[in-house]
Amino acid sequence: MQSTRQDSEPGLHVAIVMDGNGRWATARGLPRRRGHEAGARAVRGIVETAPTLGIGLLTLYAFSADNWKRPPREVGALLALFRRYLDGECERLRANGVRLSIIGRRDRLPPSLLAAVERAELDTARGAELHLRIAIDYSGRDAIIAAAARARLIDSEMTREGFATLVAAAQHGGDARDVDLLIRTGGERRLSDFMLWEAAYAELSFTTRAWPDFTGAMLAAAVEDFRGRNRRFGALPDVAVAG
Ligand code: FPP
């Protein structure tokens, strides 16, 4: 078996670590929260470009389980920004056929944000052009631990598909489909606890561009580069098999 891909949505699964908001703001003499606001504005262009590139599932990393360690002011600004995004963008997402869902823990979110999440998920539930997943209070490790606990520390008969279902359940995300292309902006080259199960065979793409400056054209360039790569999933290239 080569992957756990479940094909619940047609098209590519692209996942993005939206990094560099803080440095973007600092470089302009602005408070960090202004970088996050600029980051939220950048999300629209990416979401609207994604379906034109054959992306069916787009997973954006907005807040990790470790981001609670940031100063309370920044955490508060981020959570308020997510709520404004959900309330303010929902109608446009629905009009564009985007289904929105949130992955990650929900039990630590403020009630007003949780209510906005549930409203947005309900209002956009019929979207068929793109499934947009925003990861909030997300940890790939925690999802795997929760899945392992449910599997009673792994029934030896458990298949990858079976385990992937448990990972999906642990992150409220509907499925744990493999990531095809994982992009990180902002110059760092690490996963930061994102999609640890799903990125097993992801192609990786790093850019020094800060997230607020990441455009649809840059996403298109990353997807074009991805399409030129030879994905083997651990097997041999076709030419070697033929020979
Ligand atoms: C990392 O940049 C970014 C975050 C922790 C927050 C991501 C949030 C957004 C892009 C805005 C809102 C998103 C949505 C979906 C509405 P950083 O703060 O670590 O930047 P730095 O590395 O330059 O300090």
Write the pLDDT tens digit of every residue in 104-131: 999 999 999 999 999 999 999 999 999 9
Q: Which alpha helices (DSSP H) does 68-139 contain, by range?
A: 72-95, 111-123
- All structural domains of the chain, each given as residue ranges with its CATH number in brackets, are 12-234 (3.40.1180.10)
Question: Cα–Cα distance between 81 and 36 in angstroms, integer?
Answer: 8
Question: Cα–Cα distance between 186 and 203 in angstroms, integer?
Answer: 18
What is the whole-number distance in angstroms between the Cα of residue 232 and the centre of ligand 1?
33
Does 172 have pLDDT greater than 90? no
Answer yes or no: 96 catalytic: no
Question: Cα–Cα distance between 10 and 12 in angstroms, integer?
Answer: 7
Cα torsion angle, 105, 107, 108, 111, sign: positive
Query: Which residue among 30, 36, 206 has the greatest number of ligand 1 atoms within 8 angstroms of its CB, and so is best to mutate?
Result: 36
Tell me which of 235 and 77 has the higher pLDDT.
77
- Collect all residues with Cβ–Cβ distance below 8 Å to 30 and sequence separation of at least 6: none
Task: Give pLDDT, residue 152.
Answer: 72
Task: Give pLDDT, residue 2.
Answer: 34
Percent of the chain with pLDDT over 70: 91
Task: Give pLDDT, residue 153.
Answer: 64
What is the whole-number distance in angstroms between the Cα of residue 133 and the centre of ligand 1?
15
State the pLDDT confidence band at 163, using cuts at 50, 70 and 90. confident
